[in-house]
Chains A and B, each alone.
Chain A
Amino acid sequence: MTLHLAVSIDQPGAYEAAPYAESALLAERGLLDFVTLGDSFGRPGADALAVLARVAPGTARIGLVPTVTTTHTEPFHVQAALATLDWVSHGRAGWAIDVSESEAEARLFGRRHAAPAGELWREAGEVADVARRLWDSWEDDAEIRDVATGRFIDRDKLHYVDFEGSAFSVRGPSIVPRPPQGHPVTVVDATAPHARDTAARYADVALVRVAGLPGAEAARAELRAAAAGFGRDPDALKVLADLTVDLGDGEAVVDLAELIASWHASGAVDGFHLRPAEPRRDLERLVNGTVALLQHRGLFRTFYPGSTLREHLDLARPANRYAALAGDRHE
């Protein structure tokens, strides 16, 4: 089982691009699967998706996963921005779905009051669903540039999604052609019980914050069973243990490598999402220390065999739901 490693590059109080660009490059030197950048409408700092778009051209392989909340946004804008992040990064985009539960955030928009978490996560699932429909609303080969007939696109390969959710509806198609990965990778922090169903149904990667190995094992088993219950192949859902790491003490680098190796060997998790306690120091020690040790033991990759985030994660490029239907029609 391939070991997957990701790291958060959150840096409280940084408003400029440089510290994020440096961290992402460092994580890429460590051949990590992806970096995450947390966000909410109340979080000090720049919009996370924008930060990672700014980081994209200066990096080549590392996956870029901003948190994008779904409670106060327009699903149509969200899917277009994520598809665009995938285009500008040549297939390295993901999104960590989150919801906005607080009345303080609701007051920033003045459109609706705070709602219970269960309701918000159900809506987040609908946003994930409509986003995928919109990413599929252009078939991959819709652009034909046929000079003879004067047609730029084959309009039969563009599709209305006609989505009716509980709080919104979208007609489609998207304005952005299908992104390089087909669907940018969906990440859900499945630690909170309310997020579990949405994670099991829609996540490619689920994060779980757990105290120890048995907790990780149990969470992974539960998520995989739930995914299978939704008709999914459980192997298409990677479960990463979410750990905050403090590498201040020299020994900690080795301890962390050992913990990663033993949890992974036991099959408890597919990998780890690590949050450095001290952003710059710990990321540097993680890459140059822990990752180097894991590579030395043959447990972690020494080069990126692929170029997209899906390839790093061993996730297939999703088939286009509308192309399959159209295929049947054309036969």
Chain B
Amino acid sequence: MSERTHASKKRRLHLAAHFPGVNNTTVWADPRSRSQIDFASFEHLARTAERGLFDFFFLAEGLRLREHKGRIHDLDVVGRPESLTVLTALAAVTERLGLAGTVNATFNEPYELARRLSSLDHLSAGRAAWNVVTSSDAFTGENFRRGGYLDRADRYTRAAEFVRTARELWDSWTPQGEPRPFAHQGQHFDIEGEFTLPRSPQGHPVVIQAGDSPEGREFAASAADVVFTRHGTLEAGRDFYADVKGRLAKYGREPDDLKIMPGVTFVLGDTAADAQERAAEIRRQQVSPQNAILALEQVWGVDLSSYDPDGPLPDIDPDPESTLVQGRVKITNALEIAAKWRALSRAKGLSIRQTVIETTTRQSFVGTPEAVAAELEEFVATGAADGFILVPHLTPGGLDDFVDRVVPLLQERGVYRTEYRGTTLRSHLGLREPIWKG
């Protein structure tokens, strides 16, 4: 058996790049950290991802600045440009890389967003993707005409109808390029008219889903092409993978019609020990003394600013009714978490800061390039993922080492492409072009 046929039997993995902007993994205090706003930063990361033959470049979204104790959160990176506009500009400086933007389905309208996404797809010659999120709190709503709050069930019925409607619009022109009127009447939308763009170069923009509730998983199974998940460990990954892929059949879909891609971080070193040391240093930068207190306050729901981050955890109990934190998922089982943290701190003699570091470390691939490449392959080979959305720590150089050192090893292992075959994002992901349903 030749190398080639052997290699072709292995499952290929997919890679995507998450721009390290507004999130608590971004290390802004590092002297190499650059602007999260300047176009040069986006261009650098996107070009690096394309050099690494990645499927797509990914931007998150937040529509209201987070608050803590009624004041704007000031310890992490704050401020970001608007996703679709940045991605459209990136289409000018890349050729093959997919361009994925997170856009909320609760605070947008189908006609306008379908048009913006189709525009991105046309202007990038078939590289657009939409990550459909449904965050719906009234806090975010205060910036919008729609305003208000939708409960979980409603936001997913709105999101599902939104995606269905967008696809009706994308299919409203004939394959010969003739516009035809559309009309959609449903629970959330009652609209009609003529769409202004022909079917786009990859049929429809790719649809990504991120959200973990049963409703979210069901929505993904029924409507998404890619799932962006937080389940980054082998065990949790396999469970999630099996669960979501298992939901596909009832929608008449094949397992390969939906790619599951956990968001993961990575730290490389010349030796395992070197990588571990770097990872620990990154954790210390992510959890500054001030951030440690803040993380504690987010669980406890009360002001703990008088506590010493290098001292022991507070004896007082959390306030389960607290509304201290605005603009991110609320902690629902505070008493339980606090008990766990106290037990850990007592057992290992950890300070507040050490406890936060230990309990909030997410799945990260830490090791030599060889070890990381092997681990990534194992995830894909054993059904824990179809690929990964890599979240670097640094803007914008955080992907450089990965592309230079890990990608060639994945290629040698025969689990990663050595060139782009097609030009569209759908072709990179191995997804079929949607059948025209005009």
- Please pick, from A81, A83, A153, A169, the residue contacting B72 in the complex, using a CB distance under 8 A: A153
B contact residues around A44 at 8 Å (CB) = 179, 196-197
A contact residues around B79 at 8 Å (CB) = 138, 142-143, 153, 175-177
A contact residues around B109 at 8 Å (CB) = 72, 109, 111
- 0/1 per residue, A152-168, Cβ < 8 Å to B? 11110010000000011
* 14 A-B residue pairings within 8 Å (CB atoms): A42-B193, A47-B116, A50-B120, A51-B123, A54-B91, A74-B145, A75-B145, A76-B63, A83-B81, A90-B39, A108-B191, A150-B291, A154-B74, A175-B64
Looking at the assembled complex, report how far the CB atom of A48 sits from the nearest CB atom of chain B, in whole angstroms: 9
By size class, the interface of chain B is 35 or more
A contact residues around B192 at 8 Å (CB) = 107-108, 110
Looking at the assembled complex, report how far the CB atom of A248 sits from the nearest CB atom of chain B, in whole angstroms: 29
Asked whether A43 is an interface residue with its Cβ less than 8 Å from the other chain, the reply is yes
Report yes or no: B91 in contact with A17, Cβ–Cβ below 8 A: yes
A contact residues around B288 at 8 Å (CB) = 150
Asked whether A245 is an interface residue with its Cβ less than 8 Å from the other chain, the reply is no
Give the contact stretch, choosing among A55-63, A255-263, A305-313. Answer: A55-63
Asked whether A279 is an interface residue with its Cβ less than 8 Å from the other chain, the reply is no
- 0/1 per residue, A9-41, Cβ < 8 Å to B? 000000111000100000000000000000001
> With contacts defined as CB atoms under 8 Å apart, how many contacts are there between chain A and chain B in the complex?
178
Q: Which residues of B, 79-130, contact A by the 8 Å Cβ criterion?
A: 79-82, 84-86, 88-89, 91-93, 107-109, 111-112, 115-116, 118-120, 122-125
A contact residues around B28 at 8 Å (CB) = 145, 152
Report yes or no: A81 in contact with B82, Cβ–Cβ below 8 A: yes
Q: How distant is the Cα of A109 from the Cα of B114 in the complex, in angstroms? A: 12
Q: How distant is the Cα of A217 from the Cα of B336 in the complex, in angstroms? A: 75
Report yes or no: A171 in contact with B71, Cβ–Cβ below 8 A: no
Report yes or no: B123 in contact with A16, Cβ–Cβ below 8 A: yes
Report yes or no: A50 in contact with B86, Cβ–Cβ below 8 A: no
Looking at the assembled complex, report how far the CB atom of A308 sits from the nearest CB atom of chain B, in whole angstroms: 14
Looking at the assembled complex, report how far the CB atom of B181 sits from the nearest CB atom of chain A, in whole angstroms: 10
Q: How distant is the Cα of A81 from the Cα of B63 in the complex, in angstroms? A: 12
Q: Which residues of B, 107-161, contact A by the 8 Å Cβ criterion?
A: 107-109, 111-112, 115-116, 118-120, 122-125, 142-147
- Please pick, from A41, A46, A170, the residue contacting B123 in the complex, using a CB distance under 8 A: A46
Asked whether A73 is an interface residue with its Cβ less than 8 Å from the other chain, the reply is yes
B contact residues around A171 at 8 Å (CB) = 64, 142-143
Looking at the assembled complex, report how far the CB atom of A198 sits from the nearest CB atom of chain B, in whole angstroms: 19
Looking at the assembled complex, report how far the CB atom of B250 sits from the nearest CB atom of chain A, in whole angstroms: 31
In chain B, what residue has the closest Cβ to A112?
B145
Closest 6 CB pairs of A and B: A150-B290, A46-B119, A171-B142, A84-B81, A84-B85, A88-B89
Q: How distant is the Cα of A274 from the Cα of B85 in the complex, in angstroms? A: 26
Most buried by A among B43, B82, B89, B193: B82
Asked whether B76 is an interface residue with its Cβ less than 8 Å from the other chain, the reply is yes
- Please pick, from B82, B108, B115, the residue contacting A84 in the complex, using a CB distance under 8 A: B82
Looking at the assembled complex, report how far the CB atom of A119 sits from the nearest CB atom of chain B, in whole angstroms: 15
Report yes or no: A110 in contact with B189, Cβ–Cβ below 8 A: yes
Q: How distant is the Cα of A170 from the Cα of B80 in the complex, in angstroms? A: 18
Report yes or no: B290 in contact with A87, Cβ–Cβ below 8 A: no
Asked whether A45 is an interface residue with its Cβ less than 8 Å from the other chain, the reply is yes
- Please pick, from B29, B74, B85, B196, the residue contacting A45 in the complex, using a CB distance under 8 A: B196
Q: Which residues of A, 101-150, contact B by the 8 Å Cβ criterion?
A: 104-105, 107-111, 138, 142-143, 145, 147, 149-150
Report yes or no: A150 in contact with B37, Cβ–Cβ below 8 A: no
A contact residues around B63 at 8 Å (CB) = 76, 175
Report yes or no: A88 in contact with B39, Cβ–Cβ below 8 A: yes
In chain B, what residue has the closest Cβ to A134?
B143
A contact residues around B111 at 8 Å (CB) = 41, 108-109
Asked whether A234 is an interface residue with its Cβ less than 8 Å from the other chain, the reply is no
A contact residues around B88 at 8 Å (CB) = 50, 53-54
- Please pick, from B39, B194, B291, the residue contacting A57 in the complex, using a CB distance under 8 A: B39
Asked whether B75 is an interface residue with its Cβ less than 8 Å from the other chain, the reply is yes
B contact residues around A168 at 8 Å (CB) = 144-145
- Please pick, from A43, A57, A83, the residue contacting B89 in the complex, using a CB distance under 8 A: A57
- Taking A16-B125, A45-B196, A47-B119 as contacts, is the C-beta distance between A155 and B74 under 8 angstroms? yes
- 0/1 per residue, A207-234, Cβ < 8 Å to B? 0000000000000000000000000000
- Please pick, from A46, A143, A151, A173, the residue contacting B197 in the complex, using a CB distance under 8 A: A46
- Please pick, from A43, A145, A167, the residue contacting B196 in the complex, using a CB distance under 8 A: A43
Report yes or no: B112 in contact with A72, Cβ–Cβ below 8 A: yes
- Please pick, from A107, A147, A158, A173, the residue contacting B193 in the complex, using a CB distance under 8 A: A107
Asked whether B65 is an interface residue with its Cβ less than 8 Å from the other chain, the reply is yes
B contact residues around A17 at 8 Å (CB) = 91-92, 122-123
Asked whether A85 is an interface residue with its Cβ less than 8 Å from the other chain, the reply is yes
Most buried by A among B72, B75, B111, B120: B72
Report yes or no: B72 in contact with A145, Cβ–Cβ below 8 A: no
Asked whether B242 is an interface residue with its Cβ less than 8 Å from the other chain, the reply is no
- Please pick, from B82, B89, B290, the residue contacting A54 in the complex, using a CB distance under 8 A: B89
Asked whether B272 is an interface residue with its Cβ less than 8 Å from the other chain, the reply is no
A contact residues around B144 at 8 Å (CB) = 74, 76, 168, 170
Q: How distant is the Cα of A17 from the Cα of B143 in the complex, in angstroms? A: 32
Asked whether A187 is an interface residue with its Cβ less than 8 Å from the other chain, the reply is no
Most buried by B among A51, A110, A177: A110
Asked whether B408 is an interface residue with its Cβ less than 8 Å from the other chain, the reply is no
Report yes or no: B29 in contact with A145, Cβ–Cβ below 8 A: yes
Asked whether A49 is an interface residue with its Cβ less than 8 Å from the other chain, the reply is yes
Report yes or no: B81 in contact with A110, Cβ–Cβ below 8 A: no
Q: How distant is the Cα of A296 from the Cα of B356 in the complex, in angstroms? A: 70
B contact residues around A74 at 8 Å (CB) = 107-108, 144-146
In chain B, what residue has the closest Cβ to A42?
B196
Looking at the assembled complex, report how far the CB atom of B163 sits from the nearest CB atom of chain A, in whole angstroms: 17
- Please pick, from A57, A72, A175, the residue contacting B65 in the complex, using a CB distance under 8 A: A175
Q: How distant is the Cα of A43 from the Cα of B288 in the complex, in angstroms? A: 51
Report yes or no: A76 in contact with B123, Cβ–Cβ below 8 A: no
- Taking A53-B88, A77-B108, A83-B81 as contacts, is the C-beta distance between A152 and B76 under 8 angstroms? yes
B contact residues around A41 at 8 Å (CB) = 111-112, 115, 196
B contact residues around A111 at 8 Å (CB) = 109
Q: How distant is the Cα of A86 from the Cα of B263 in the complex, in angstroms? A: 30
- Taking A45-B196, A54-B91, A77-B108 as contacts, is the C-beta distance between A153 and B78 under 8 angstroms? yes
Most buried by B among A45, A109, A142: A109
B contact residues around A108 at 8 Å (CB) = 111, 191-193
